[in-house]
Amino acid sequence: MSTFKAPKGTYDLLPPDSATYLAVREAIAAPLRGSGYGYIETPGFESVELFARGVGESTDIVTKEMYAFETKGGDRLALRPEGTASVLRAALEANLHKAGNLPVKLWYSGSYYRYERPQKGRYRHFSQVGAEAIGAEDPALDAELIILADQAYRSLGLLNFRILLNSLGDKECRPVYREALQTFLRGLDLDEDTLRRAEINPLRVLDDKRESVQKQLGDAPLLRDYLCDACKAYHEEVRELVTAAGVVFEDDPKLVRGLDYYTRTTFEFVHDGLGSQSAVGGGGRYDGLSEMIGGPALPSVGWALGVDRTVLALEAEGVELELPATTSVFAVPLGDEARRVLFAKVTEMRKNGVAADFAYGGKGLKAAMKAANRSGARYALILGERDIEQGVVQLKDLESGEQTAVGMNEIVAELESRLG
């Protein structure tokens, strides 16, 4: 055992479980790739200011959860707590919005970092797949992203997730609502921290998970009663397009997301099998974010889905993903000459797309066959001195136990046809 352990609130992804994570990432990315989204990767850290401006000064993410540090050169940097601000920064810096085709559609996958109280489904480093469509204000784009996330989850076999949908209004109608909400909150019995938050960003108080706060919010004014006509019409069209695609959602007038940049459409994917950390992903429209970080007006929409949370949701539903075997053929040489011949065969098989492994370390037959069974391979190839003389190799079906001698030159073709 090593003297070192993974830092508190983090985890290592190891085989065989890591194969599930890869499959989940792949399933979320597949519908995006087929819908015009190109892959983007950004650094693991950015300027603190990008997140302070983009995510919001008053959010828990910026005030409590960010890993911020100063470099030797005196720059203030932070490990990225979310993906959108970085992706938008990269797109602006590369002038992607000037290249002609708007919206600029991007997808990404990576690790994000927040200093949180670790619990099941909430870690200090977590993995997300996200998508952003930058530079177009169109209800069809909001609908597309909700439909693609739904498609990704269904392709994994998830059934018991729910989509919550709301509109947060825009710069015309939100200030009116904000004032009404602040007036209401000032009349409640709230602690100083919460009252301070109500002054900076009252919508965040609606998202407070504490029961003492929630039970006072029963009569809080609802944003949907304050939406201007333009926002109402926009939201109605998003709802109609999503419904027409056969995607079921629930209207949740109290849904706000934990980031300041959202406007209009906002949505969350929740799974009731996950206990208190029920959100598996979410997103929305962020029309003002580009200006907040010094760019031109670029209305945009996006989402991020948690890979760790999605894996927990699969476990909660008892969904076993059908993962391809990592090894199809396991080669067992007996003696030095056999080792040389068989290793060359394994190399040839791999070039022909057959997943093959080898008994390394000069194991005897018994230990090597144990390794073959543990590898999950369907076939074992056994080569001894007599086989070399006869120009054959023993092909053993590890499921049925059946063993046949196959000509050394025919073995690759034989395996290709058997493995289909």
CATH number at residue 129: 3.30.930.10
The reply to whether 274 and 366 lie within a common domain is no
Residues 290 and 392 both lie in one domain:
no
Q: Whole domain around residue 232: which residue ranges?
A: 17-173+227-317
- Are 108 and 27 in a shared domain? yes
Cβ-based neighbours of 164, under 8 Å, separated by 6 or more: 249, 250, 251, 252, 255, 267, 268, 269, 270
Q: Considering 317, 349, 382, which residue would you say is the last residue of a domain?
A: 317
Same domain, 125 and 73: yes
Tokens of 408: 């050394």
* 245 and 377 both lie in a single domain: no
Of 228-232, 256-260, 356-360, minimum mean pLDDT range:
256-260
390, 280: one domain: no
On whether residue 90 sits in a domain, the answer given is yes
Beta pairing partners, 38 = 106
Q: 3-state DSSP call for residue 206?
A: helix
Q: Are 106 and 37 within 8 A, CB to CB?
A: yes
Same domain, residue pair 366 and 244 = no
Phi-psi region of 168 (alpha: psi -120 to 50; beta: other; left: phi over 0): alpha
CATH code, domain carrying 369: 3.40.50.800
Report the distance separating Cα 297 and Cα 287, nearest Å.
Answer: 8
Question: How high is the pLDDT of residue 259?
Answer: 62
Is residue 189, in this structure, part of any structural domain at all? no
Same domain, 114 and 258: yes
Among residues 264, 292, 317, which one ends one of the domains? 317
Residue 408 CB partners (closer than 8 Å, separation 6+): 341, 345, 391, 392, 393
Residue 164 in any domain: the answer is: yes
The answer to whether residue 258 scores a pLDDT higher than 90 is no
Domain count, the chain: 2
What does the pLDDT look like over 158-214, one tens digit per residue?
999 999 999 999 988 888 988 898 899 888 888 888 888 888 878 878 878 788 888
The pTM for the full model equals 0.90
Examine the fold and report which residue of 290, 317, 344 is the final residue of a domain before the chain moves on.
317
Q: Are residues 395 and 254 in the same domain?
A: no
Cα–Cα distance for residue pair 95/282, rounded to 1 Å:
27
The predicted structure's pLDDT at residue 66: 92
Tell me how far apart the alpha carbons of residues 228 and 233 are, in angstroms, rounded to a whole number.
Answer: 9
Q: What is the mean pLDDT of residues 229-242?
A: 97
Same domain, 123 and 88: yes
